[in-house]
């Protein structure tokens, strides 16, 4: 009797589809992402905002240590959700890809090209025996020659473009607010307030207080800026 005729055997082979057309290991990786702390990205009138809920695991942890939002290149940032170790490897690869593009073509990499290449890396890990999918989703946001861009990649290797998006355990609550209140002509102040409202709604269901980290890539400067807690509070209270 074939091992794949046994109950649950389709869980054990990443390269084998179940009879109903599913790759269970990919679905498990997606579930890891869906259980992770929320990340949000949106395009506003003059740039892109990336936000993340950075949970403190211990009172002894350095609150300034960030691992949810990364600078990939001057013009491009990323927010991650899922396994932090998997995210670190992919962010390192993304940075190398971005620098190789500058060395080869003497120009910054397009956000879509980077999202596609990272999606290609993820897809490889869904198609070969002896490996597992990356348990992480990434929101890439930045300003390139095509304008303001925002993309997500998931563990399956798929990538999609958005105007505003939320990923993680609070996705449903955050997306409900984005669908009702998001506008493409929002200014930076309005955008940060909306991101903050989304995090508050996402975490209120679990009676948790948000610890928000926000980065901004402005069309004028085309440079990523990770805001301090004081700057975020000033925007929200303005």
What does the pLDDT read at residue 206?
65
Residues in the chain with pLDDT < 70? 1-14, 66, 205-210, 238
Contact 49, 195 (CB under 8 A): yes
Contacts (Cβ under 8 Å, ≥6 apart) of 35: 168, 169
Q: At which residue do the structure tokens 């082979």 appear?
A: 13
- Which domains can be identified in the chain, with CATH numbers? 37-54+65-237 (3.60.20.10)
Contact 167, 33 (CB under 8 A): yes
Q: What is the pLDDT of residues 128-137, one digit of tens each?
A: 888 889 999 9
Extended beta strands in 83-211, E state: 136-144, 147-153, 159-161, 164-167
Which element (helix H / strand E) includes 52? strand 47-53
* Phi, psi dihedrals of residue 73, rounded to the nearest 5°: -150, 175
Kindly calculate the radius of gyration of the chain based on its CA atoms and give it in whole angstroms: 19
Spatial distance between the Cα atoms of 179 and 195, rounded to a whole number of angstroms: 12
Spatial distance between the Cα atoms of 45 and 205, rounded to a whole number of angstroms: 30
Spatial distance between the Cα atoms of 55 and 224, rounded to a whole number of angstroms: 22
155, 107, 78, 33 alpha-carbon torsion, rounded to 10°: 0
Q: What is the pLDDT of residues 176-207, one digit of tens each?
A: 999 999 999 999 999 999 999 999 888 876 66
Contact 34, 28 (CB under 8 A): no
């Amino acid at each position: 009797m074939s091992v794949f005729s046994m109950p649950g055997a389709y869980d054990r082979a990443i390269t084998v589809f179940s009879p109903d057309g599913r790759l269970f290991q990919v679905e498990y990786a997606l579930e890891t992402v869906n259980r992770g702390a929320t990340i949000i990205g949106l395009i506003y009138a003059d740039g892109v905002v990336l936000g993340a809920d950075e949970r403190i695991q211990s009172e002894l942890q350095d609150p300034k240590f960030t691992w949810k939002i990364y600078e990939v290149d001057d013009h491009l940032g990323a927010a991650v959700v899922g396994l932090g170790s998997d995210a670190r490897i992919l962010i390192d690869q993304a940075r190398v890809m971005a620098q190789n593009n500058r060395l080869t073509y003497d120009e910054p990499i397009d956000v879509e090209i980077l999202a596609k290449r990272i999606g290609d890396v993820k897809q490889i890990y869904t198609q070969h025996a002896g490996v597992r999918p990356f348990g992480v989703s990434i929101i890439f946001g930045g300003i390139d020659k095509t304008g303001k861009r925002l993309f997500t990649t998931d563990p399956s290797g798929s990538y999609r473009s958005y105007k505003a998006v939320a990923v993680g355990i609070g996705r449903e609550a955050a997306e409900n607010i984005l669908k009702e209140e998001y506008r493409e002509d929002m200014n930076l102040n309005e955008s940060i307030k909306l991101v903050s409202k989304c995090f508050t709604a996402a975490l209120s269901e679990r009676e948790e207080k948000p610890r928000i980290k926000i980065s901004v890539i402005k069309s004028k400067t085309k440079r990523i800026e990770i805001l301090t807690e004081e700057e975020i509070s000033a925007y929200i209270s303005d």
